[in-house]
Amino acid sequence: MEPPKEPPKDINEEFEDKSEEQYDQENEDIGREVIDKLYSDIKTQIETYNKRLVELNKLLDITIETRLALDNFETKYRNPEGERINGSDERLSKSEKNAREQKDKIGDEKRANREKSRKRIVIAVLGLLVAGGVIAFLIQYIQNKEPKPTDQFTQQDVDDAKAIIEKWKSLSDDQLWENIASYADGYNPSLQTQMLMMGYIKNWANTPDFTWDATDKADLIDKLKDAYEIENKSSAIYHTIEKTTYKNTKLPRSIAADLCELALADLLAQSQEDSDDNSN
């Protein structure tokens, strides 16, 4: 049995040598797998909507303002809304610092590759083959900033998007994390793409008020990093978070995604430190 292939670190490395044909084929494969696994009961609706999205992708251009808003969102680390942390822990402070720095570094990746990463995330999570302005619309909607229909994006398009997004929100956490682990194993996304994915999931999920201790949070981040180091593959992070509880209660989805994002940031920071040491 071959050892697991370590994921690429950055988005450019993930997509730079991948042909457009290979990228598009992978997107179709991922979308089909996600629909069969998570959305089989609305499969016909999603497949019909994806055909409609092909046309919308040609009609809706992403505006400069929207592009900048997405850039700002994707390159800034944010704690989950509703989270309250008691005390402090140097490990947690370092993880949050790493997350801020690593999200900032994502902005240095080529825009075309970042847009491929964004599109890949929506496919892997929602099973929707979207691009450009359609992605911007869906992201705005999921973030509870429901935009009004336009001449191109009709009320029916809005209603279809709402049904699919609400279906995603109704998935169990086990379904969510198992799907992401399977995606990580099958397509080996970069650690940067996975950080972006966690940022979106954290933002899309409904966050209840959640209070805990800084040391407990730091311990769980270490637990996720240890799982990655043992298996040398990022799916171990998601298998671990799926089973993780706090005071015998499952973690809210946004809190779990935040832990994964912080662990990924630490792993990226460590790999960059190791690379710098080896080059000296």
- Does residue 276 surpass a pLDDT of 90? no
Average pLDDT over residues 151-155: 76
Kind and range of the H or E run holding 85: strand 83-86
Continuous segment of H or E residues that includes residue 250: strand 249-250
Other beta carbons within 10 Å of 10 = 22
pLDDT at 224: 99
For residues 97, 244, 35 and 103, what is the CA-based torsion angle, rounded to 10 degrees?
0
User: In Å, how far from its chain's centre is CA 46?
Assistant: 20
Q: Which helix (H) or strand (E) holds 186?
A: helix 173-187
This prediction has a pTM of: 0.92
pLDDT at 279: 62
Q: Which of 27, 14, 88, 83 is nearest to 53 (CA)?
A: 27
- What's the DSSP call for residue 205? S
In this predicted structure, what is the pLDDT of residue 145? 60
Contact 165, 126 (CB under 8 A): yes
* Rounded alpha-carbon distances, angstroms, from residue 267 to 68, 99, 100, 273, 280: 27, 10, 13, 10, 20
Q: Which residue has the tokens 């973690």?
A: 251
Greater confidence (264 vs 60) lies with: 264
Could you give the CA distance from residue 54 to residue 131 in angstroms, rounded to a whole number?
9
d(CA 95, CA 161): 35
Q: What's the pLDDT score for residue 1?
A: 38
Comparing 131-145, 151-165, 188-202, the range with the smallest average pLDDT is 131-145
pLDDT top residue among 150 and 244? 244
Nearest alpha-carbon partner for 117 in 173, 205, 199, 236: 199
Query: Smallest Cα–Cα separation from 182: which of 224, 231, 238?
Result: 238
| Mean of pLDDT over the chain | 88
Checking if the pLDDT of 252 tops 70, the result is yes
Burial of 25 (0-12, 13-18, 19+ CB in 10 A): exposed
Contact present, 181 and 245 (Cβ < 8 Å): no
Contact 227, 101 (CB under 8 A): no
Over residues 65-69, mean pLDDT:
75
Q: Over range 10-16, report the average pLDDT.
A: 96
